[in-house]
Structure 1
């Protein structure tokens, strides 16, 4: 899976970094969002039933 990284600059000087493809590789989809000292990992899995 390719690593995709985007950085968004806000008007007040802060930045939001969004990255996918690096962590939680066993999940069907995952994203890491960073802002300041805060980092959020969201991972999703699915299965056919």
Structure 2
């Protein structure tokens, strides 16, 4: 069973599943965790 940490992580997973080529986002509260997670996905090649 997989547990989602937050809505931001769930949104990041949704973006990952869409295989978006471009993500226009600015790291500012409350979406900072979303952009950080997306950055982690890019760095790890996911």
Indicate the TM-score class for this superposition, using the shorter chain for normalisation. under 0.3
TM-score, normalised to structure 1's length? Answer: 0.19
Larger fraction in helix: 2
Larger fraction in strand: 1
Which structure is higher in RCO with an 8 Å CA cutoff and minimum separation 6?
2
Higher gyration radius (CA): 1
